[in-house]
Structure 1
């Protein structure tokens, strides 16, 4: 089962505080959407409204063509998977996965068969008789996912589901989560503050800030062509250089004039700054470098703007000595005007 979702003009207040400001978002059936942003940006509030745990102060939520704005959670075609998994410690894995079906009145034989199907899908069919305490964190996460999918929701809501896992296991589970979503075809709405996690699993990323959507697009679009300065900063490291239009009578660092119709900010990802490229940044001195395995992370001080620091990711075998002066170049610049940077 799967369904599309339409959020229209959703505003939500907690007393005098406005957590969401007229949010509009359309999610296609079978799409993997990630709500991404810092703590307090409104992403969990929006997920709670989708799940029916909160009723918006204004606006509407439509799932599969049906208005669900004021429908109770138990009557919605949604299931929520939380970070703590909430598995029953006294039940076997099979009974944990079958629990939602049991609550819906499904017979024992049918619900056990469905539970085994789900456990097989997440690679735990041979552990169906075990209890949750006998599993690793990653295995418990898989059981929680199997339980959520066993009731065949149209939309699965995931609230920081990988947050309790260590880095290596989290990356492994990102791949598995995306593979399972593709297999079942259910619409996934996933909340996280982890940019790498969002990039790994999302069809589209919704970057949120202070209750508003800053940018909604594919991982490539949000990273390479961010719509706002907040989105550019939040989606990874970025060099920012002020620019002014030609004839403004104001000097920009590095002499980068006439690059924007109005005053704005030139954004450059570190991997797009180096010793070759189509945009000349001028001479610069290497002041610091560190080896990160796949690249050298280098800090350059442009001679024309010695107080400015530009971060560049240079290849493993190629970086100058500390103190060396080089010609610095850039590729794929993104220019955000003051309106966009606000």
Structure 2
């Protein structure tokens, strides 16, 4: 089963603090949506409203077209996976995974069969009789995911589920999550503050800031075509060049007035938008690329960050003729 989620002008407050400000968002059935933003942006508050852990001050949450007002977490077609796995240490993995089914009144044999099916789905076949303490952190996270999926939710909510894992394991689990979501087809709503994680797993990223949606779209669009300065800066390093009536510190660039945004890796020795001659002020080899800072000769106090191909050899003081292969202009 899977279902759409509709957030309609939802506002939430905690005392005098405004956590969500008339947020509206449509999530299609079977979509993998990531809510991304810094601490306090409202992403977890929004997830909790979808899950029924709190009620909004105003607005509506609909799942599968049904208004969820007054319906608690246990009665909603959702389950939640938290950063804390919350596994029962005295229970086998099969009993942990089948716990929700047990609460629903399912008999022992069907619970066991479903638990074994879900453990195999998350890459843990043959481990149904083990205890949580026998597993690694990544394996325990898989068990928590299997437990959530065992009750066949229409919508699976994930609150920073990979935050406690080390970098290598987190990246491996990102691939696992996306693959599992494709197989089961359930709507996933995932909260994280990790931009790389969001881009690795999302069908659509929703960037939040100050209780509002600052940007949303497929990962490529949000990264290369940001719709706000906040989103542009939050999604990674970016060069910002003010433009007034087509003029900038680098000379004439694009018509109009606004801020020209260019990612460091979109600046190179060839491209569609000439940036003019620039002097290298420092450079370092980063393995996958060469990172350099350059100063345009027309604006020596301006600094641009440039990521050049791995094989590039440059020296401090060298003058390069640079151009942008991709860019976006945000107007006021």
Paired position in structure 1 for 2:244: 244
Aligned length: 332
Paired position in structure 2 for 1:273: 267
Distance in structure 2 (CA, Å) of the matches to 1:140 and 1:205: 26
User: Which deviates more from structure 2 when the two are superposed, residues 290-299 or residues 28-37?
Assistant: 290-299
SS at match of 1:125: coil
Per the TM alignment, residue 281 of structure 1 is displaced from its structure 2 partner at its CA by 1.0
TM-score, structure 1 as length reference = 0.95
TM-score, structure 2 as length reference = 0.98
Paired position in structure 2 for 1:283: 277
Per the TM alignment, residue 255 of structure 1 is displaced from its structure 2 partner at its CA by 1.1
1:253 to 236, 249, 253: 249
Coordinate RMSD, CA, aligned:
1.0
How do 1:1-342 residues align onto structure 2 when only pairs under 5 Å count? 1-246=1-246, 252-257=248-253, 259-262=254-257, 264-338=258-332
User: Which deviates more from structure 2 when the two are superposed, residues 304-313 or residues 40-49?
Assistant: 304-313
Per the TM alignment, residue 306 of structure 1 is displaced from its structure 2 partner at its CA by 1.4
Distance in structure 1 (CA, Å) of the matches to 2:313 and 2:39: 37
Distance in structure 1 (CA, Å) of the matches to 2:283 and 2:140: 41
SS at match of 2:250: helix
Distance in structure 1 (CA, Å) of the matches to 2:110 and 2:44: 34
8 Å contact from structure 1 (residues 33, 190) kept in 2: yes
SS at match of 2:177: helix
8 Å contact from structure 2 (residues 81, 148) kept in 1: yes
Distance in structure 1 (CA, Å) of the matches to 2:255 and 2:212: 26
Per-residue deviation, residues 279-304 of structure 1 (Å, max 9, x unmatched)? 11111111111111111011111111
- The runs of 4+ residues in structure 1 deviating greater than 3 Å are none
SS at match of 1:149: helix
Distance in structure 2 (CA, Å) of the matches to 1:331 and 1:27: 32
SS at match of 1:141: helix
Distance in structure 2 (CA, Å) of the matches to 1:103 and 1:283: 69
Distance in structure 2 (CA, Å) of the matches to 1:191 and 1:32: 11
SS at match of 1:130: coil
Distance in structure 2 (CA, Å) of the matches to 1:6 and 1:260: 39
User: Which deviates more from structure 2 when the two are superposed, residues 312-321 or residues 105-114?
Assistant: 312-321
Unaligned runs of 5+ in 2: none
Per the TM alignment, residue 217 of structure 1 is displaced from its structure 2 partner at its CA by 0.4
